């Protein structure tokens, strides 16, 4: 096990098998819940382009739309495995256990824990042909303000960025920093996505400028 300076463990925190076992009913509830939701694309051409795109994509969505993301991927990117960046903290350990039942594979890391190694791991899984999903406003916000990590990954791997957002017909809005959305079972969700090609983002822009372009475009597509 590697350690950080001062003797602090740099390995991501994980839940025990016993805790994962007791969490499994929540995973089953989540699968049934999201399976009941009707997902419809705002533009059928965007859906067809996405389903037929053969390579990996780095897709970004705001943190408050995360709940339905795994179900979207299982329906529209069936041929690809999906990895998500999850914090190396104790809270991230709960998320890793939960999302394992949602068919999302975890890469653990954050600014404060394994950040550099997490980027290396993400580059590796993309180059192996897998999709990666990232919430660019992170786990703590500010809401709807993108950090550069997702765009850095796309720049290194030379892959397109897929902007992804959802509009809910009926949803609970939690009193959290991002006003997290929980779509009601059997409700309808409108899906909007848009490819941003590598050349468009990076040919004449710095990483920070490309991040700002992606933030502006994703906010334009997002309907609250």
Residue 190, class by beta-carbon neighbours within 10 Å (0-12 exposed, 13-18 middle, 19+ buried)?
A: middle
Q: What is the pLDDT of residues 37-60, one digit of tens each?
A: 999 999 999 999 999 999 999 999
Distance CA 162, CA 196 (A): 6
Percent of the chain with pLDDT over 70: 82
Q: Is residue 185 part of a domain?
A: yes
Q: Taking the C-alpha atoms of 165, 171, 172 and 178 in order, what is their torsion angle to the nearest 10 degrees?
A: 10
Q: Region 104-128: what's the mean pLDDT?
A: 77
Residue 195's beta-bridge partner residues? 162
pLDDT in tens, 159-177: 999 999 999 999 999 999 9
In a domain, 209, yes or no: yes
Q: How far apart are CA 163 and CA 60, in angstroms?
A: 5
Number of domains in the chain: 1
Residue 8 within a domain: no
pTM for the full model? 0.86
Any domain includes 96:
yes
Residue 105, class by beta-carbon neighbours within 10 Å (0-12 exposed, 13-18 middle, 19+ buried)? middle
In whole angstroms, give the CA distance from residue 95 to residue 199: 34
pLDDT at residue 19 in the model: 62
The answer, yes or no, to whether residue 113 has pLDDT greater than 60, is: no
Quote the domain boundaries for residue 174. 16-221
| pLDDT, mean of residues 136-152 | 90
pLDDT tier at 2, thresholds 50, 70, 90: very low
In a domain, 211, yes or no: yes
CA distances in angstroms from 1 to 83, 105, 121, 123, listed in the order given = 23, 21, 17, 22
Distance linking the first and last C-alpha atoms of the chain? 44
99, 70 Cβ separation under 8 angstroms: yes
162 or 11, which is more confident: 162
Amino acid 99: pLDDT: 73
Q: Which of 1-10, 93-102, 195-204 has the lowest mean pLDDT?
A: 1-10
Considering the domain boundaries, does residue 46 fall inside one? Answer: yes
Whether the predicted pLDDT of 80 surpasses 90? yes
**Assigned domain for 150 exists:** yes
172 part of a folded domain: yes
């Amino acid at each position: 096990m590697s350690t950080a300076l001062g003797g602090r463990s740099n390995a991501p925190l994980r839940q025990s098998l016993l805790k994962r076992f007791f969490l499994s009913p929540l995973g089953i509830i989540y699968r049934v819940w999201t399976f009941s939701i009707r997902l419809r694309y705002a533009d059928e051409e965007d859906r067809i382009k996405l389903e037929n795109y053969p390579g990996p994509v780095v897709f970004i969505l705001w943190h408050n739309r995360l709940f339905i993301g795994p179900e979207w991927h299982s329906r529209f990117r069936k041929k690809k495995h999906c990895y998500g960046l999850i914090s190396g903290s104790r809270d991230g350990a709960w998320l890793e256990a939960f999302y394992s039942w949602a068919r999302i594979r975890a890469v653990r890391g954050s600014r404060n824990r394994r950040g550099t190694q997490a980027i290396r791991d993400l580059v590796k899984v993309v180059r192996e042909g897998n999709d990666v999903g990232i919430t660019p406003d992170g786990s703590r916000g500010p809401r709807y303000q993108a950090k550069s990590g997702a765009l850095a990954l796309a720049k290194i791997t030379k892959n397109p960025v897929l902007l992804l957002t959802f509009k809910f017909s009926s949803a609970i809005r939690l009193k959290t920093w991002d006003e997290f959305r929980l779509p009601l079972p059997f409700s309808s969700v409108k899906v909007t996505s848009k490819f941003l090609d590598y050349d468009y983002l990076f040919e004449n822009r710095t990483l920070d400028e490309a991040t700002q372009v992606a933030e502006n475009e994703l906010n334009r597509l997002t309907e609250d």
